[in-house]
Amino acid sequence: MHSNFRAIGISYKNTPLEVREAVAFDESQTKQFLHQMKEVLAVEEALILSTCNRTEIYYNAPEDIAEQLAALVDVFHGISTSLPSADYFQQMDYDQSVKHLFSVSLGLESMVLGDIQITNQVKKAYQWSADEQMAGPFLHRLLHTIFYTNKRMVQETPFRDGNASVASSAVNVVEQFISTFTNPKIAVVGLGEIGENVVENLKGLKAQVTLVNRTEQKALDLAGSLGYHVAPLEELDSVLAESHVVVSAVQVPEPIITQAKLKDNHHPKMLIDLSVPRSIDEDVEAVSGVILYNVDQLQEKASKALEQRQSVIPAVNAIIDESIAEFNNWSQEMEVSPTIKKLKQALEDIRKQELARYVGKMSANEAKILDKATKGMIQKVIKLPVLQLKAACKRGEAETLVGVLNDLFNLEEEKTEPSK
């Protein structure tokens, strides 16, 4: 079981965006594909982690089926031979796939180091596997170990402190600013990649959010699932007047938010310009109550957080290595547990057979005493083989001992009996 866990994966580090987009899985596709893996490739357990930056498939199967799996992905997504994703999928063996899933889940492999969203994405992927009965004892234990390790990392290191991306730095500044407002209003202008990231980071903030975009449909699509408002770009002036915070990430040649548009401002207002070139005129700060942040200031905050995170990587890796060592011990013991079970059963059968020969010649009380005495003997007899088996696991020598026990006690006999 231990060595049957493997993975294939592509990520932003080695695969162009059009290939990543072509092989991405949403929830219903993930569940369909898990089902196909079971039916077509006899996979027992699997986890599909698919985000905009990566698609990785972790699986437990008796054979190494990496190539068939990559081919199945292409068939499932209807990818033509001109763009075979199989060329990009990297194969990982047991050790690589376990270590990689830990690193990914804790944010060590993210585009923004320490990205907090990835842990939730892994939790979702795990939930979908469980929904499809594709998470067995191995995956359950592995994922719970990862979530526990994530907690340890947060408690024992400053890895997640600060905000390492411009979008999350911006939202952090916004959060502090609106903490005193009873009903804060936030507007996000421009929904390109940065604007989308800001919207993503705003989730969970107690505020009324309005999205403003040139292509209104994109704003509607984004707003729908989040319960946000939408306004056309032509109404920017009135949105500007009502909002306490405006984050602008719109691509324009000249600033579209100027001092003139803010002259009637009556309440504290924060403007955040994430556009390059700038979309908010610098002189807006002359208006009473207006605070302006630009990309460089937020980038500086993000860079400091990023530097700190990079310095903590060795400490995070040390925690991961500890967790993997513990997990591997468990996983190896799982391999010998069927043998331990069979050995206990074989000895118990012998005990019961022998008891049956004498029980008729004894009083109920004597039978009780004998039952207790023989049970105690069996427990003492089995104690050492079990300890030796577990020790052999740690040395990677369990197979030999399992073979010896099978021969000594004929533990495999039920498999060799002819079918009736």
Give yes or no for residue 1 having a pLDDT over 50: no
52 carries an active-site annotation: yes
Q: Which of 393, 394, 418 is nearest to 340 (CA)?
A: 393
Catalytic residue among 1, 24, 40, 52: 52
Instruction: State how far the Cα of 54 lies from the Cα of 88, in Å rounded to an integer.
Output: 11
Residue 341: CB partners within 8 Å, gap ≥ 6? none
> Are the folds of 2-156 and 166-303 the same?
no
User: What's the pLDDT score for residue 82?
Assistant: 61
Give yes or no for residue 417 having a pLDDT over 70: no
> Tell me: the pLDDT tens digits for 371-396?
999 999 999 988 888 888 777 777 76
In three-state secondary structure terms, 229 is: strand
> Tell me: the pLDDT tens digits for 52-69?
789 999 999 888 899 999
CATH entry, 2-156, from 3.40.50.300, 3.30.460.30, 3.40.50.1000, 2.70.98.10:
3.30.460.30
**Are 50 and 30 spatial neighbours (Cβ–Cβ below 8 Å)?**
yes
Around Cβ 417, how many Cβ atoms within 10 Å? Answer: 8
> Tell me: the pLDDT tens digits for 135-171?
998 999 999 999 999 999 999 998 888 776 788 888 8
User: What does R_g of the chain's alpha carbons equal in angstroms?
Assistant: 30
**Are 353 and 289 spatial neighbours (Cβ–Cβ below 8 Å)?**
no
User: What's the pLDDT score for residue 22?
Assistant: 86
Q: Where are the domains of the chain?
A: 2-156, 166-303, 335-416
CATH number for region 166-303: 3.40.50.720
Under the banding of pLDDT at 50, 70 and 90, the label for residue 41 is very high
What Cα–Cα distance (Å) separates residue 416 from each residue in 288, 337, 400, 405? 88, 20, 20, 16
197-222 burial by CB neighbour count: b if 16+ within 10 A, else e? bbbebbeeeebebbbbbeeeebbeeb
User: What's the pLDDT score for residue 87?
Assistant: 79
> Tell me: the pLDDT tens digits for 331-366?
877 777 778 888 888 888 889 998 888 888 889 898
Give yes or no for residue 35 having a pLDDT over 60: yes
Give yes or no for residue 302 having a pLDDT over 60: yes
Give CA 340 to chain center in angstroms.
34
**Are 198 and 274 spatial neighbours (Cβ–Cβ below 8 Å)?**
yes
User: What's the pLDDT score for residue 45?
Assistant: 94
Give yes or no for residue 415 having a pLDDT over 60: no
